[in-house]
Amino acid sequence: MKIMKKRTSGREGISGGYYRLFAAGIINGIGDRFSQVAMLSLILQLTGSGMAVGLSLGIRLLPCLVLAPLGGYLGGKLPRKAVMMVTDIARIPFALSFLWVTSEDRLWLLYVGSFMLAAGEAIYAPVRKSSIPLLAERGALMRINGMEQLMTGCVLILGALTGGFVSHWFGPETAFVLNACSFLAAAAIISGISFPRSAPEDREEEKVWINEQEPSRSSRRKGLASLLAGSLVLQVVLGYELLVSLVNGLDNVLISVYAIRVFHAGDIGVGAFYGSLGAGLTLSFWAGRWIKRNFLAAALGGLLLEGLLLIGISVEGGFAAACGLYVLLSLASGIGSASLDTLLMRETPAKWQPFLFGLLTAVSGTLLGLSMLLAGSLLTRVEPRSLGFAGGASFAVIAILLSAYLWIKDKRGGAVSVPSRTP
């Protein structure tokens, strides 16, 4: 039996390095949201096309297919701090390229810039996520993943809501410049983080592996397949991530379309909807702290509730009421996301995490991008409210199917979990 050593380097097992990572994420995210709100409003002003909105959002996620696994690979081979700093700085000129989009015939600049920004994020995201267990003990992971939802909530409130006002009063150009500045500021903050080579609980085990030959790509695939086959929890979590990504693009595209075309609230309406999502995610940080176990049940129950709330939004006639439903929607989503991330980090051995997070980001991000493109295409033929109703119903069906799969496999004696690390 392995005796755990108590760490004293941070509050509740969280190192100071994570708080720097948290701060960099807020700054980076706020800049991105400033840019995204301005970009979507600019597209609708220039084209009035839901298809153009879906295309711009879908393009941002397509690089995940190739580059997210590369990010996972680099996270295991190169200093994580260097990878994140380089990807931040390299995105600055592409963020500024949006300044030249002044007419519909220059939209190609926006699409190219969006693609390149997404390429950087595809590399950055799995490196950042796999760094979290290095900066905290296992017992603090649920708190940290709750803080990740809090970070997203702050980003949406300060970024999307404020971004709507900035774009409305000062023009989209100001939002694009602020996004470029945020990349530089985030890189400066990350430069002060000192990353350990392995997670606190795995440092003794590192001595066992350090002299062994590095596994080949084929052995990594076999090892990952064995890992997934031995854990019903991981099977359900990965099924959740992939199936939800197939339909989540509908909701992402509809947020802006609802605000501008259905509720006629313009840039401020887009910001208000994103701000409502941020408020719900912020609340989920405190609500999620009451969840100490049954993380999978919390995630699946939250997904079912999300579906019902999306159906409610699709039939709601009042703008204020829709904002309230978005608060509840993101509250359920935040608790579910924190629970899923905690399960992934606990159930996956540290040596597999960069590879698994990179692979998962690649597949789910690509599916989400395709879903956004599909949503944009459908909006040319289907009313936004009808599409939103279908998306909400799909969420509910996925929650029911995954719950049924979990129940049936568990009754048949399927393995519920795997050891937190391999021998």
- 318-362, pLDDT tens digit by residue? 899 999 999 999 999 888 888 888 888 887 777 777 777 777 877
CA distance 34 to 160: 6
Read off the pLDDT of residues 219-278 as tens digits, 9 standing for 90 and up. Answer: 555 666 777 777 788 888 888 988 998 888 888 888 888 888 888 887 678 778 877 888
* Percentage with pLDDT > 70 across the chain: 85
pLDDT tens, residue by residue, 154-194: 887 777 667 767 777 877 888 889 899 999 999 999 998 88
Q: Which domains does the chain have, with CATH numbers?
A: 13-196+223-411 (1.20.1250.20)
The reported pLDDT for the residue numbered 323 is: 92
Q: Does the model's pTM come out above 0.85?
A: no
The secondary structure of residue 12, as a DSSP letter, is: G
CB-neighbour burial class of residue 278 (10 A; exposed 0-12, middle 13-18, buried 19+): buried
Between CA 372 and CA 365 the distance in angstroms is 11
Q: Give DSSP secondary structure letters for 271-296.
A: HHHHHHHHHHHHHHHHHHTT--S-HH
